[in-house]
């Protein structure tokens, strides 16, 4: 599916995780909002084929599966650096490597 590839390239190129770490919250919100819209489009297209999975995805991105494309016009994700903290600590490469 071409649209999922476009969304993947867009998210990889715009790296919202980097924008967030750099404190560029507004740009990160725009990138994530577009990513959510792409996920919505893909799940709506795949729903006739894999309905349970698509319902699960929509539930987890917080969108009612009965919504249509027009109802998502102007979707905006709002983030706050203080609001979203990682539930785990970052792991260093030294902790991952096996030492003999």
Residue with tokens 């790296």: 15
Output the pTM of the full model.
0.65
Q: Would you kindly state where each structural domain of the chain is located, as residue ranges?
A: 2-79
50 Cβ contact partners less than 8 Å away, ≥ 6 residues apart? none
Alpha helices in 15-50 (DSSP H): 16-21, 25-46
Q: pLDDT by residue (tens digit) across 23-68?
A: 888 888 888 888 888 888 899 899 999 999 988 888 887 777 777 7
CA distances from 41 to 27, 50, 74, 84 (A): 21, 14, 14, 26
């Amino acid at each position: 599916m071409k649209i999922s590839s476009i969304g993947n390239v867009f998210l990889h190129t715009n790296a919202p995780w980097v924008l967030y770490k750099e404190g560029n919250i507004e740009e990160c919100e725009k990138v994530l909002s577009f990513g959510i819209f792409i996920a919505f489009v893909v799940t709506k297209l795949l729903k006739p084929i894999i309905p349970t999975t698509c319902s699960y995805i929509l539930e987890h991105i917080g969108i009612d599966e009965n919504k249509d494309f027009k109802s998502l016009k102007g979707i905006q994700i709002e983030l706050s650096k203080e609001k979203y903290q990682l539930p785990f600590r970052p792991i260093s490469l030294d902790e991952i490597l096996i030492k003999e």
